[in-house]
Structure 1
Amino acid sequence: MFQPNMFDSHHHLLDMGHNKTPENEMDLIRDDDYESKSGTDIMEAPSGDEQDPNQRPNKKKRYHRHTQHQIQEMESFFNECPHPDDKQRKELGRRLALEPLQVKFWFQNKRTQMKAQHERHENTQLRNENDKLRAENIRYKEALSNAACPNCGGPAAIGEMSFDEQHLRIENVRLREEIDRISGIAAKYVGKPMMTYPNLPTRSLDLGVGNYGPQTGLSSEVFGAADLLRSVTGPTDADKPMIIELAVAAMEELIRMAQSGEPLWIPSSDINCGELLCEEEYSRIFPRGIGPKPLGLKSEASRESAVVIMNHVNLVEILMDVNQWTNVFASIVSRAVTLEVLSTGVAGNYNGALQVMTAEFQVPSPLVPTRENYYIRYCKQHSDGTWAVVDVSLDNLRPSSISRCRRRPSGCLIQELPNGYSKVTWIEHVEIDDRAVHSIYKPLVNSGLAFGAKRWVATLDRQCERLASLMANNISAGDVGVISSPEGRKSMLKLAERMVMSFCTGVGASTAHTWTTLSGSGADDVRVMTRKSMDDPGRPPGIVLSAATSFWLPVPPKRVFDFLRDENSRSEWDILSNGGLVQEMAHIANGRDPGNSVSLLRVNSANSSQSNMLILQESSTDSTGSYVIYAPVDIVAMNVVLSGGDPDYVALLPSGFAILPDGPTDPTVGINPEVGSGGSLLTVAFQILVDSVPTAKLSLGSVATVNSLIKCTVERIKGAVLCDVA
């Protein structure tokens, strides 16, 4: 397949379509001619020299039939760049033996065809929705007009109704008004293409209509330009009764699964994998659920419990606030959005809250595909004071999408304990197509340690410890160095928190966070992405490259973690330290494990002519994985933070490591050169500012430099830790 200069096309893609309008394109294309050709017979417009002034206007145009090879090549190019520039058209025409004008007309016709298909689909959906709304409106009117007194059978007056009946009548009136409003909107726009709607939100929540094509707005911000934009919409009113029924059933299933023991749950032979679900027993107890398992998907189900240092009210708030939830579980949730809130719950808390959401879940490695879900989240307080939050997929509301991951009722029970603690019982139950997972990560994913309940609970426990440390109003005995006030301690912890979240957005397989993946960047085993940073006080302005790679080491994860976080061994792998002495200037302990800490390091350069450098570093570990994340920081800005100043304006470009076990731990197995034998899966990720001008073009030399840097670091780490093993 022909590929243009990747960097030219990258910048062109960011601006594509800005100078073209559908009206300009339609001036050059005859829809009826194109429709009859189905994309294979393309009309050639005569040049100015070929036109006959006496030619009749309706004289039949001359057509040129492209070869199958030419069509395939242009189709492939269209998928990557529907608006090629003059240079790209000339190069494509040269390779396919076509004139640039022929290429130009083919792309214009192709864009028109795609637009027409999208418009027909949108119009059909709008007409169907309008019919549903009219029928629903009629049904509500009939129900209201036929309301009768339960005692005498006559017309009911408000005063004769029970409280529940009054509530139902009020709710019916509200629904009728809402449906009238929606019906009016739908009727107004039936027959018009979606692209011409004035001032409608991109999500089109009111209409329940999908978005297609490269539109701007929330969908593209949430899902990134690399995605095929799915129908990321709120549910229609016709769907809402079914959603409520599904949520109630899912809550009942979650409670029963959390409270059941054997034979539904079977203890795992591996102490790190928790309890596993017996599929036969599950099918017997819950014969209906959300339907049979789709072909090609396999089940993953696990349960885990823990006592965490956070009260139940705060835990529920974190789970029901999408921003807090994403921040706390940044290493697992790569992106999430609440599409619609169907119920906010009762006044003052989230009891009865119901949300429609979409989220993407990740493992910190580019070798493990992310998992996307479209689902409802339902929160309820039960009679014994226990809170429960349940998720369940709504894939049947998106029948056109092919789901690779489906969530059966999953979530957690939260029980209040004394002294601000809570007991959390977590259940993860999904059906997944994981065939795209790299072979070295298969044992980890199959064991449930990658996406299962144990990872959620371990991450929550770790984050609760960290939040407790952040909220402390004193300087603990474990804190040492230049921190002189509680305010400076808190600012440094907040800066480290932002650094960790920023690192997690660029290390996994997701491209949701304004990153653009560079294909053919020179190394098959290194994933390279780029991003333009502008008007963001938390990042330096310019072009940023992110490079990440994952590999296996026949060394236990704890040994790798201790090696990478130790400032005394930093010079063995950190090329940027240039062999200088690394000194810890400040240390904040933020967890029970001594490896959980935030440090400020100073690199004393071996070359006296070079200025010293400060590095902010956070290391964290739990039973499912460990992280060492760091970023160079400006000395002046860091002094402001240490004095209690606002950390949000400190520019950071974090790099670091994610260290995962290579599979379940079997204490009877020694360290052998086989994946799944107690070794480590190490992901190395760098973010580097390659040009301080955001409008500059990315150079091949920058990509080659980042590739060399990450490969050299990998070789140094391998040499150091394997030498220790030997």
Structure 2
Amino acid sequence: MDGHGGMDLLGEHFDPSAIGRMREDEYESRSGSDNFEGGSGDDQEANEDGPPRKKKYNRHTPHQIQELENFFKECPHPDEKQRLELSRRLGLESKQIKFWFQNRRTQMKTQLERHENVILRQENEKLQAENDLLKEAMRSPICNTCGGQAIPGDISYEQHQLRIENARFKDELNRICALANKFLGKPLASSVNPISTKCLNSNLELAVGRNGFGGVSTAGTTLPMGHDFGDGDVMPMMKPMMGVTSNDIQFERSMLIDLALAAMDELCKMAHTDNPLWIKSFDEGKEVLNLEEYMRTFSPCIGMKPVGFVTEATRDTGLVMVNSLALVETMMDANRWAEMFPSVVARASTIDMVSTDTGGTKNNALQVMHAEFQLLSPLVPVRQVKFLRFCKQHAEGLWAVVDVSIDMNQVGSNTQFVTCRRLPSGCVVQDMPNGYSKVIWVEHSEYDESSVHHLYRPLLSSGMGFGAHRWISALQSTQLTISIKLPPPSSEKHSITPGGKRSMLKLAQRMTNNFCAGVCASSMRKWDKLRVENMGEDVRVLTRKRINDPGEPPGVVLSAATSVWMPVSRQRLFNFLRDERMRSAWDILSNGGPMHEMVHIAKGQGTGSCVSLLSANAISKSENTMLILQETWSDVSGSLVVYAPVDIPSMHIVMNGGDSAYVALLPSGFAILPPPNHGGWSNNINGTIVKPEVESDESGGCLLTVGFQILVNSLPTAKLTVESVETVNNLISCTIHKIKDALQVT
């Protein structure tokens, strides 16, 4: 019963020790609708002639119980007027209404008390376990100097607490030193002697605990459920990292969060700070980092630069036709991110989600990623980087995404040595009123220059190879490709359905990706490198065998690629290679005759980016059994011409909207990059900003990469012969010679 009338009903024979039992009995026998389906009334009825006899309970109907429950939610203590109204409406006596509400209140109170008792019992058990552990540790104290058994003496409770705290701090410090050496790339020596193995296995360790937060380890110890970012946002609970032990997991999470926050702070400052941190080049206004000012302004996030590494750091700004939220969503998806930057990102994957997003957006999302960055040349190795990617919303319509490497000193038996690491890099995206977004891109990397061919070292050190302008150019080209409208059927040279356009563009995308993988030897395709004595050092030959791959012909496939300097402007060379009228001057697939364009699908505003279908004018129709699928694109960072022979029946299926995944392709083509010093200022090996002695002009030359993939044998079990390798080598040499002759250059 409630506190208002319960004591009056009990009378003067109330026994305080029996209150618990009475509540239990009351809960079992008078709990309202749960135990006796709505019964109500007096527990006992007085009988003058004999002992009290039990009164029969009246069972309420489901309708009556529902109405009483609804009223109880609004008013648990009805007055006399309300009880009379309920009794009239439900056909019950006022006394029944009164007893039902009393029983219902008693039931609620009992349930609350039981819940509180469970909580108090758990707390009591935790305190007892903690007390037992402390007593055990005090009975077997450990000497902090020698690590052995301490001599009992008059030690106060405060001294015991200090010793326990000291042992915990030593254990914590040593583990932090080990993790710092693992993640930050530099050893962090402890200022105290490391705790011995005997000490770590002692009873004192059991007392101080190993829960990762330095508190006493008990079965019911609760851990923090998030990380405060300082502005009211809390990072959600993180799931375990792959390959990390349970003892170190909380420290590693904390270090990853701290590293991400530091990287985000550095990126925002670098994005909005101008001179003297950034120096503009004379020719095109590109911004290059002033390393001396950078070292004075920022402290290293991931340790000092390794010996032999050089720095490349650039910044660029551009407008893209996409809102900030859509761009951020793409950046945080590894597959979509790689598709957005196909010429830069060879492969990308998400290794682990350290923290998920908040509020249904990617705000505060933190993940560990692995990516391969490529420059289309066999003379520049693929950059494999393991890094953190952290996304943060700073204001309405203002986002930032930052990357920072975490793979230094994580070299195991199955891990290659790190040749590149990414310092805080990424983009700051802000929505503009016209539907566009302003993107400020910062790219800051350190890499081993000894692995790069001398022909490409000036290009990379100036930031033209992997710099910020290349990311902005690729982003703008992708958006143009997405937003551009295809020409109407009447303006095309051959009939093709809208579904056929999409299928043809998808086939061209796969062709270009395969070409880039063959040139750069990325892990997107499993290639085996060949070492041939008669082959030049600048030519890389790869091979692989395919049996049941629907996208490639079965057999032994050979890929060969090389890069050379061409004393001709990049635009002139690009126009020459993509012109079907000049193709017979260098392409053996043309059979020495002219070619014409059957289909033309524009992918950008200019005439340089498109997908075409070419056909050779054969002498007889029976000889014309092959078509040439070609994709070309060009931006400020470089140009590309990729082509592959395709049989006519397969292309008819594609042009009618059929599935292009089963069309076998062996792509070949050309990649053209601007001259090495195009861009003016550059970082030398010492990290200082220098100006080239002679200003380079794009018309003075460019870097040409030539790549071929051919089927040398249709049997997958066949062995590769020396003659096949020499044939591919001669094909590359002959093609380069023909191009030079046609352009009349030496």
Fold shared, TM-score > 0.5 on shorter chain: yes
Q: Within 5 Å, give how 1:663-674 maps onto structure 2.
A: 663-665=676-678
Equivalents in 1 of 2:546, 2:216: separation in Å? 55
Letter matched to residue 474 of structure 2: T
Helix, strand or coil at the partner of 1:481: coil
Q: Is the 8 A contact 2:316 2:469 kept in 1?
A: yes
Q: What's the counterpart of residue 16 of structure 1?
A: none
Q: Is 1:447 the counterpart of 2:462 in the alignment? A: yes
Q: Deviations over 1:213-263 (max 9, x none)?
A: xxxxxxxxxxxxxxxxxxxxxx94431110001101111111111111111
Q: What's the counterpart of residue 246 of structure 1?
A: 259
Letter matched to residue 441 of structure 2: W
Q: Is the 8 A contact 2:388 2:406 kept in 1?
A: yes
Does the C-alpha gap of structure 1 residues 138 and 371 become closer, same or farther in structure 2, counting only changes over 3 Å? closer
Q: Is the 8 A contact 1:364 1:683 kept in 2?
A: yes
Q: What's the counterpart of residue 697 of structure 1?
A: 719
Q: Is the 8 A contact 2:552 2:665 kept in 1?
A: yes
Q: Is 1:135 the counterpart of 2:206 in the alignment? A: no
Q: What's the counterpart of residue 383 of structure 1?
A: 395
Q: 641, 644, 651: which one pairs with 1:628?
A: 641
Any stretches of 5+ residues in structure 2 without a counterpart? 1-196, 681-690
Q: What's the counterpart of residue 413 of structure 1?
A: 428
Q: What's the counterpart of residue 458 of structure 1?
A: 473
Equivalents in 2 of 1:557, 1:253: separation in Å? 36
- How far is 1:466 from its partner? 1.6
Does the C-alpha gap of structure 1 residues 387 and 522 become closer, same or farther in structure 2, counting only changes over 3 Å? same
Q: Is the 8 A contact 1:663 1:675 kept in 2?
A: no
Q: What's the counterpart of residue 742 of structure 2?
A: 720
Helix, strand or coil at the partner of 2:288: strand
Any stretches of 5+ residues in structure 1 without a counterpart? 1-123, 149-157, 180-204, 210-234
Q: More deviation in 399-408 or 384-393?
A: 399-408
What's the RMSD between the two structures over aligned residues?
3.6
Q: 609, 616, 620: which one pairs with 1:596?
A: 609
Q: What's the counterpart of residue 207 of structure 1?
A: 243
Q: What's the counterpart of residue 552 of structure 1?
A: 565
Q: Is the 8 A contact 1:368 1:509 kept in 2?
A: no
Instruction: Compute the TM-score of the two structures, normalised by the length of structure 2.
Output: 0.64
- How far is 1:676 from its partner? 8.2
Give the 4+ runs in structure 1 shifted more than 6 A: 131-134, 143-148, 161-164, 672-677
Q: Deviations over 1:417-436 (max 9, x none)?
A: 34542221110011222123
Q: Deviations over 1:60-87 (max 9, x none)?
A: xxxxxxxxxxxxxxxxxxxxxxxxxxxx
Letter matched to residue 372 of structure 1: Q
Equivalents in 1 of 2:487, 2:235: separation in Å? 54
Q: Is 1:494 the counterpart of 2:510 in the alignment? A: no
Letter matched to residue 450 of structure 1: G
- How far is 1:494 from its partner? 1.4
Instruction: Compute the TM-score of the two structures, normalised by the length of structure 1.
Output: 0.66
Equivalents in 2 of 1:162, 1:629: separation in Å? 49
Q: What's the counterpart of residue 405 of structure 2?
A: 393
- How far is 1:509 from its partner? 4.9
Equivalents in 2 of 1:478, 1:353: separation in Å? 48
Letter matched to residue 269 of structure 1: F
Q: What's the counterpart of residue 575 of structure 1?
A: 588
Q: 622, 637, 646: which one pairs with 2:659?
A: 646
Q: What's the counterpart of residue 437 of structure 1?
A: 452
Q: Deviations over 1:346-366 (max 9, x none)?
A: 253211111111222221111
Q: Is the 8 A contact 1:620 1:628 kept in 2?
A: yes
Letter matched to residue 136 of structure 1: N
Q: More deviation in 307-316 or 561-570?
A: 307-316
Equivalents in 2 of 1:479, 1:134: separation in Å? 76
- How far is 1:276 from its partner? 0.9
Q: Is the 8 A contact 1:665 1:677 kept in 2?
A: no
- How far is 1:136 from its partner? 2.5
Does the C-alpha gap of structure 1 residues 258 and 673 become closer, same or farther in structure 2, counting only changes over 3 Å? closer
Letter matched to residue 685 of structure 1: G
Q: Is the 8 A contact 2:314 2:468 kept in 1?
A: yes
Equivalents in 2 of 1:595, 1:171: separation in Å? 46
Q: Is 1:315 the counterpart of 2:315 in the alignment? A: no
Q: Is 1:287 the counterpart of 2:299 in the alignment? A: yes
Equivalents in 2 of 1:140, 1:464: separation in Å? 52
Q: Is the 8 A contact 1:475 1:489 kept in 2?
A: no
Q: Is the 8 A contact 2:568 2:699 kept in 1?
A: no
Q: Deviations over 1:239-295 (max 9, x none)?
A: 111000110111111111111111111111231x71011112212221343333222
Letter matched to residue 496 of structure 1: A
Equivalents in 1 of 2:303, 2:595: separation in Å? 58
- Identity between Structure 1 and Structure 2 (%): 48
Q: Is 1:467 the counterpart of 2:482 in the alignment? A: yes
Letter matched to residue 610 of structure 2: S
Larger Rg: 2
Q: Within 5 Å, give how 1:342-357 maps onto structure 2.
A: 342-357=354-369
Q: What's the counterpart of residue 374 of structure 2?
A: 362
Q: Deviations over 1:41-97 (max 9, x none)?
A: xxxxxxxxxxxxxxxxxxxxxxxxxxxxxxxxxxxxxxxxxxxxxxxxxxxxxxxxx
Q: Is the 8 A contact 1:266 1:276 kept in 2?
A: yes
Q: Is 1:687 the counterpart of 2:699 in the alignment? A: no
Q: What's the counterpart of residue 91 of structure 1?
A: none
Q: Deviations over 1:358-379 (max 9, x none)?
A: 2222211111122222210111
Helix, strand or coil at the partner of 1:258: helix
Q: Is the 8 A contact 2:675 2:696 kept in 1?
A: no
Letter matched to residue 548 of structure 2: D
Does the C-alpha gap of structure 1 residues 345 and 147 become closer, same or farther in structure 2, counting only changes over 3 Å? closer
- How far is 1:521 from its partner? 5.9
Equivalents in 2 of 1:642, 1:512: separation in Å? 27
Helix, strand or coil at the partner of 1:435: helix
Q: Is the 8 A contact 1:270 1:664 kept in 2?
A: no
- How far is 1:710 from its partner? 1.5
- How far is 1:677 from its partner? 7.3
Equivalents in 2 of 1:625, 1:354: separation in Å? 33
